[in-house]
Structures are given as structure tokens and as C-alpha cells.
DNA sequence: CGTCACATTGATGCCTCTCAAAGCTTGTGG
DNA sequence: CCACAAGCTTTGAGAGGCATCAATGTGACG
């Protein structure tokens, strides 16, 4: 189910698409014509640093809208790649902007969504600023960032996967986390 | 000059205030009743990690609006402290929400402002994810984050001030940055 | 002129990255 | 059903880089 407030848009503003693992949805510099609703699968937004290091800006999960910030931008600022076969709906950018102009409730709801994103980015900044690997992993798990794929998780929180495995092991041993299966952990 | 779109608000929604170095404007958990426009001085938004490490979420500079995300939140998520005597204008939260409901252009402009903040946070995340201190400092200076106070700058980019000084020195020696004075650097 | 905060440099230790290897799971094809 | 490959998981060893502690220099301000 498309999240509010996008259900208010005309059906003509929406088109479906599917992606396979490894596909690129858009690249940094592309001109944004739509934003996306992810129904299933995973899409990563990532950039590359000057030295070639890959940096994950955001992981879109099923049910989420992503690339919203491109509504007010003339170019995407990152690449979007599919990391698990995905179904998604394109939402026409012009239709969204028009709805904002004509429907105050739509505008308000969209702003609230942006505000929520800002706060989630702040949490992420807070996380990345934590110096200790163990503490960072612990907070990240508590924030629900770990969903099965530990290597992606490690990249998201700015650690090598080895350091992440070691921290997870230590946290499980000390009882701060529960090991619920192979590569699966939960807050106690 | 108050930035757009807030000039559209009635004068009754605005009140002036001043802060001295060290003053606290609000604390994490406080209920937000207004957002702020900083005319002069500096205000830091910061949080504390579990281990007591202080984390700077945002530094508000003169001319900026800050704490906007609190419009849609029932509590501030960080502390705001003044680090340089400041003049600011409180903008009533209810008046802003009302303006969004009644004035589509206002809503659109505010959303655009949020979208801009999202992109600046993404840049920040990208910065924090860079492993090498030298590269991180170089990018941060290029982004204009260094404005005189190197200790604050160091905290903002998640490095100790010593590591920051050393990186700055090295970058200046190798010509990637220009030292323009005591504690002052610029991109060449 | 003394104090204070910032700026700078040195030495040491710990933590994480990197490279490496081996065990484990899953899937694929013969 | 087995063999093999590919990818994730886990553990080890070594090196390098950043944090930390420490000391000194420097400018601003009363």
C-alpha cells in the first residue's frame, strides 16, 4: 500500500517497474523525473569517495519512499543500485510538485515525511560519530539497522565486516545482544 | 533578513531573543514550541552518546534557520547550546504549520528547505564515512565546514583536534590546502 | 603581566583495517 | 545424490593510524 500522502495522486502519476539484483536505477548526475516507492526487495543509495571507498548513504527497505529529496534538485546526488530483486513504483515528480501546490494537506504530510528523514539522518550521524566499534554496532542493532545481511550492515555503519563480526560476537557473549541464528542478532 | 518563506508570516509569530556563550537554548526532550532563525553568533545542536562522548549534530551559522525538524516532532532530539554570543528570532511553530496549510507556496518553499537539509546531512554522512583523517579533513574544508574554530571543526567531523591539526599541517605542506593564518586554511 | 583558551608537536598504546585462511551454507549441474 | 563453486561466517596475525596523555608555544584580553 502506497504510503500517505501519495495515495492522493492520480493513477496516471504512477508506473510500475522491476529490478534485478545488481541493476542500476539511476546514477549520480542523472536528472530526476520521479521518486520511488519500493514494494519489495532492496535498493541502496551510495556514493564513491575520492579514494574509491564506497559509501552507503541509505538503504531503502520495502514499503519505503526514496529519492524524495530529488524533488527539489536538478540532479541525483548518488547512485541507486538494486541489491535484492525489487518491485517499485515510479511517482512522477511533476505530479507531486503540483499536488503540493494545490493540496495543503499533501504538502504538510510530505513535509512531515522530510522532517522524519532528517531525524533519521541525524541518528545516523550520531551513530557514525561513535568511536568504539562495539558501541556503534550495539546502537545500530538497537536502531533496527541489522536485517540479515551483515556485510551490508557493516558498510552502512562504516566498519569492516570483520570488525562487525567480532563486535557482534563480543556483544552476544557479554549478553548485550542475543544471537538468534546464523548472522541474526536481536536486542535482549 | 529572515529567509524565505518565513517573511510571509505575521509579525506576531516572531519574537527576538539573545544568548550568551554557554547558554542552553533547549534540551533533548523539551517540547518544541518554535523554530529559530539565527541572526548572529553560533548555536550547536549536540547529543551525548551512551559512553558520554559528545556528538555535534549540526552547527547553526548566522542567517540560518535551525530546529526546523521539530515542527513535526513532539520533543527536541538534541541539546542546543550557544558557543558564541547570539541574536536570534523565535518563529512560532503553530504559525508555521498554519501557514503551510493555507499557503501552498509557503509549504513548497519549506519542503524545499527540508530537502536541502537532507542533502547536506547526506554530505555529512559521506564525510563521516571517509576512513582517512587526511581525506576527511580535506573534503570538509572543501565543503566550507572550517570557519575558524578548529576544535569545533574537529568535533564536527569526528576527529580529535590533534589528528585534525596534523592532517591540516600535512595538507598545507603538500599544497592541497593553503595556510592563510593561525588556524586558518583555505582550498587552493 | 598573568591567565586562559587555542595551536602545535611528541610519544605511546590501543583499536581497527587489511590480508589470509579455514569452516560453513547454499545452490547448481553432472 | 554427490561434487563443486560461490558467498557468507569466523578467526588469526600484522601493520598502520588515530586517540590519548603530555608538554610547550602563542595570541587575546583583562
Quote the pLDDT of residue B80: 94
pLDDT lower than 50: segments of chain B: none
Please judge whether B78 and A122 are an interchain contact, meaning their C-beta atoms are less than 8 angstroms apart.
Answer: yes
With contacts defined as CB-CB under 8 Å, which chain B residues touch A76? none
User: Which nt sits closest to A167, CA to C1'?
Assistant: C16
Q: Which of residues 105-134 of B touch strand C (CB under 7 A)?
A: 131
The pTM of the full predicted model, rounded to 2 decimals, is: 0.91
Q: Which residue is nearest to nucleotide C24 (CA to C1')?
A: A182
Please identify every stretch of chain A with a pLDDT value under 70, giving residue numbers as ranges. Answer: 51
* B42-46 long-range contacts, CB within 8 A, separation 24+: B42/B82, B42/B83, B42/B84, B42/B86, B43/B19, B43/B80, B43/B81, B43/B82, B43/B83, B43/B86, B43/B88, B44/B80, B44/B81, B44/B82, B44/B83, B44/B152, B45/B78, B45/B79, B45/B80, B46/B78, B46/B79, B46/B81
pLDDT at A186: 85
Q: Among residues of chain B, what percentage have pLDDT more than 70?
A: 99
- Give the model's pLDDT for residue B88: 94
Nearest of B123, B155, B159, B158 to residue B142 by alpha carbon: B123
Nearest by CB: B107 against A49, A100, A132: A100
Report d(CA B55, CA A65) in Å as an integer: 29
With b meaning 16 or more CB within 10 Å and e meaning fewer, what string describes B112-151? Answer: bbbbebbbebbbbbbbbbbeebbbbbbbbbeeebbeeebe
A–B: how many Cβ contacts below 8 A?
140
Per-residue model confidence (pLDDT) at position B37? 95
CA of A28 to C1' of C13 (A): 42
Contact between B25 and B110 (Cβ < 8 Å): no
CA pseudo-torsion sign A89, A92, B72, A123: positive
pLDDT of residue A122: 92
Amino acid at each position: 500500500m502506497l504510503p500517505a500522502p501519495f495515495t492522493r495522486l492520480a493513477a496516471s502519476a504512477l508506473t510500475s517497474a522491476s529490478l534485478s539484483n545488481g541493476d542500476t536505477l539511476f546514477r549520480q548526475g542523472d536528472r530526476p523525473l520521479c521518486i520511488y516507492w519500493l514494494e519489495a526487495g532492496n535498493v541502496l543509495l551510495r556514493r564513491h569517495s575520492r579514494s574509491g571507498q564506497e559509501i552507503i548513504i541509505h538503504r531503502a527497505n520495502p514499503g519505503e519512499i526514496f529519492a524524495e529529496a530529488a524533488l527539489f534538485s536538478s540532479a541525483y546526488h548518488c547512485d541507486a543500485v538494486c541489491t535484492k530483486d525489487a518491485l517499485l513504483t515510479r511517482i512522477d515528480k511533476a505530479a507531486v510538485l503540483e499536488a503540493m501546490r494545490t493540496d495543503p494537506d499533501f504538502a504538510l504530510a510530505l513535509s512531515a515525511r522530510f522532517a522524519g528523514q532528517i531525524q533519521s539522518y541525524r541518528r545516523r550521524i550520531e551513530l557514525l560519530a561513535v568511536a568504539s566499534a562495539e558501541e556503534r554496532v550495539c546502537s545500530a542493532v538497537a536502531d533496527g539497522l541489522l536485517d540479515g545481511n551483515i556485510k551490508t550492515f557493516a558498510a552502512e555503519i562504516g566498519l569492516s565486516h570483520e570488525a562487525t563480526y567480532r563486535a557482534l560476537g563480543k556483544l552476544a557473549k557479554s549478553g548485550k545482544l542475543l544471537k538468534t541464528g546464523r548472522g541474526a542478532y536481536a536486542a535482549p
